[in-house]
Amino acid sequence: MDRRLKPMRTATFVVLGAALITSAPWLGWWPLLPMATAVAGFGLAGRFIDRLRHPEYAAAGAWVLAQVTIAISIALSGGAASPAVGWLAIPVVTLSARFDRRVVAAGLLLTTLLMLGVTVGARSGDVAANPALAIAPLALLAAIALLSTALMTSDVEHRSKSVLDPLTGMLNRASLDARVAELRQQAELTGEPVGIVVGDIDHFKPVNDEHGHTVGDAVLVDVAAAMRTQLRAFDLAYRIGGEEFLVLLPGARLADAAELAERLRGAVEAAPAADGLRVTMSFGVTCSDAGEFDYAEVFAAADRALYAAKRAGRNRVHVSGDLQDLGRAAA
pLDDT at 288: 94
Residue 261 has pLDDT above 90, yes or no: yes
How confident is the model over 78-113, as pLDDT tens digits? 888 888 888 888 888 888 777 777 888 899 999 999
User: Bigger pLDDT: 325 or 41?
Assistant: 41
Banded model confidence at residue 331, pLDDT cuts 50, 70, 90: very low
Which of 102, 137, 163 terminates a domain? The answer is: 163
State the residue range of the domain holding 228.
Answer: 173-319
Which tens digit of pLDDT belongs to each residue from 248-258?
999 889 999 99
- Same domain flag for 206 and 297: yes
**How many Å separate Cα 149 from the centre of its chain?**
17
**Which residues does the annotation mark as catalytic?**
243
Q: Mutual orientation of helices 32-48 and 55-76 as an angle, nearest 10°?
A: 170
More confident residue, 20 or 213: 213
> For residue 154, is pLDDT > 70?
no
Strands 281-287 and 244-250, how do they pair? unpaired
**Could you tell me the pLDDT band of residue 162, with boundaries at 50, 70 and 90?**
low
C-alpha span between 168 and 23 (Å, rounded): 53
203 plus 291 within the same structural domain: yes
The answer to whether residues 15 and 145 belong to one domain is yes
Task: Work out the pLDDT band at 158, boundaries 50, 70, 90.
Answer: low
Estimate to the nearest angstrom the gap between the alpha carbon of 248 and the chain centroid: 14
Q: How confident is the model at residue 328, as a pLDDT? A: 42
Task: For residue 54, count other CB atoms closer than 10 A to its CB.
Answer: 11
Residues 133 and 223 in one domain: no
pLDDT at position 4 is 65
136 and 200 part of one domain: no
Predicted local confidence at residue 49, as pLDDT: 64
pLDDT for 48: 64
Question: What is the DSSP code string of 227-258?
Answer: HHTT--TT-EEEE-SSSEEEEEEET--HHHHH
SS3 of residue 285 by DSSP: strand
Q: What is the pLDDT of residues 112-129, one digit of tens each?
A: 999 999 888 877 788 888
How many Å apart are CA 106 and CA 186, to the nearest integer? 33
pLDDT tens-digit series, residues 48-83: 666 666 677 777 888 888 889 888 888 888 888 888
Q: How many independent structural domains does the chain possess?
A: 2
282 occurs within a structural domain: yes
User: Do 223 and 284 belong together in one domain?
Assistant: yes
What percentage of the chain has pLDDT greater than the value 70?
Answer: 89
Orientation angle between helical segments 295-311 and 173-190, nearest 10 degrees: 110
| 252 and 139 within one domain | no
Mean pLDDT of the chain: 84
User: Residue 153 to residues 11, 60, 147: CA-CA distances in angstroms?
Assistant: 25, 19, 10
Query: Is residue 179 a contact partner of residue 238, using CB atoms and an 8 Å limit?
Result: no
Does residue 157 share a domain with residue 12? yes
Last residue of a domain, one of 132, 163, 194: 163
Please tell me the distance from the alpha carbon of residue 257 to that of residue 259, in angstroms, as a whole number: 5
pTM for the complete prediction? 0.55
pLDDT value of position 43: 75
pLDDT at 218 over 50: yes
Spatial CA neighbour of 218 closest among 279, 172, 283: 279
Burial call 97-132: b when 16+ CB within 10 Å, e when fewer: bbbeeebbeebbebbbebbeebbbbbbeebbeeeee
Closest Cα to residue 78, out of 40, 27, 38?
Answer: 27
**Higher-scoring residue by pLDDT: 28, 326:** 28
Least confident span in 23-37, 164-178, 215-229: 23-37
E strand or H helix at 284, and its extent?
strand 281-287
CATH of the domain at 250: 3.30.70.270
How far apart are alpha carbons 34 and 13 in whole angstroms? 12
Residue 326 in any domain: the answer is no
